[in-house]
């Protein structure tokens, strides 16, 4: 993808609603630009090209991860599994893997779950999500994979907020993470991007 395109959309349409929170409702999280979505899927396929034909599933969390995960999955020709935000009756069900996800924005912990039959030790999984900030959602998904004895191929993120600790901590664990846009700062409401080689 022309990554410039994504950065331009963030600059022109995203709203910095607090020092930590970026709202991308205009094109990703409430209204979804389907042309941009296709480009995002193609870029994940390019960044994880060596995993095309190897990964067996793409894992994300409802609701905002679903569109980008499906856009990527077309290029990998694999199913998407989306973790469901837990209702108590699901999580009491012994047929699901569960993990807690703490939301720093809402200051609440929610539970996500995946039915056991959709993740197994035979699966090699690419995790896809819209945002990486503190890494709570990613760690929740990693916990689901560990419970299933599935293999993590890598983590693909649309927008990483590098001034929050999730990306650094996950990379320190040796995990492969690819982010399409990396925001280094939102101070004063101005979005600045970092570019890695």
Q: Which residues bind a copy of itself (CB under 8 A)?
A: 25, 27, 30-35, 37-38, 57, 62-63, 66-67, 70-71, 73-74, 77-82, 84, 114-115, 118
Q: Of 29, 42, 17, 7, which is closest to residue 131 (Cα–Cα)?
A: 29
The region that residue 154 occupies, defined by phi over 0 for left and psi between -120 and 50 for alpha, beta otherwise, is left
Q: Which is nearer to a copy of itself, 80 or 159 (CB)?
A: 80
Q: Which is nearer to a copy of itself, 92 or 194 (CB)?
A: 92
For residue 119, the minimal CB distance to a copy of itself (Å) is 9
Q: Which is nearer to a copy of itself, 17 or 194 (CB)?
A: 17
For β-strands 124-132 and 151-161, DSSP reports them as parallel
Query: What SS3 class is residue 90?
Result: helix
For residue 196, the minimal CB distance to a copy of itself (Å) is 29
Q: Of 109, 111, 106, which is closest to residue 89 (Cα–Cα)?
A: 111
For residue 9, the minimal CB distance to a copy of itself (Å) is 12
Name the strand (E) or helix (H) holding 56: none
For residue 194, the minimal CB distance to a copy of itself (Å) is 28
């Amino acid at each position: 993808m022309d990554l410039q395109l994504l950065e331009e959309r963030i600059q022109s349409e995203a709203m910095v609603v607090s020092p930590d929170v970026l709202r991308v409702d205009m094109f990703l999280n409430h209204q979804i630009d389907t042309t941009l979505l296709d480009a995002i899927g193609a870029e994940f396929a390019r960044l994880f090209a060596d995993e095309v034909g190897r990964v067996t599933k793409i894992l994300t969390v409802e609701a905002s991860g679903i569109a980008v995960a499906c856009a990527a999955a077309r290029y990998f020709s694999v199913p998407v599994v989306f973790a469901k935000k837990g209702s108590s009756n699901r999580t009491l069900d012994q047929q699901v893997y569960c993990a807690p996800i703490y939301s720093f924005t809402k200051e609440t912990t929610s539970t996500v779950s995946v039915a056991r039959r959709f993740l197994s030790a035979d699966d090699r999984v690419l995790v896809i999500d819209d945002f990486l900030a503190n890494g709570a959602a990613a760690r929740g998904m990693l916990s689901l994979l560990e419970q299933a004895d599935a293999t993590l191929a890598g983590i693909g993120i649309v927008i990483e907020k590098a001034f929050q600790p999730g990306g650094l901590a996950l990379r320190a664990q040796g995990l492969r993470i690819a982010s399409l846009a990396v925001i280094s700062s939102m101070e004063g409401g101005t979005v600045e991007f970092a570019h890695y080689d």
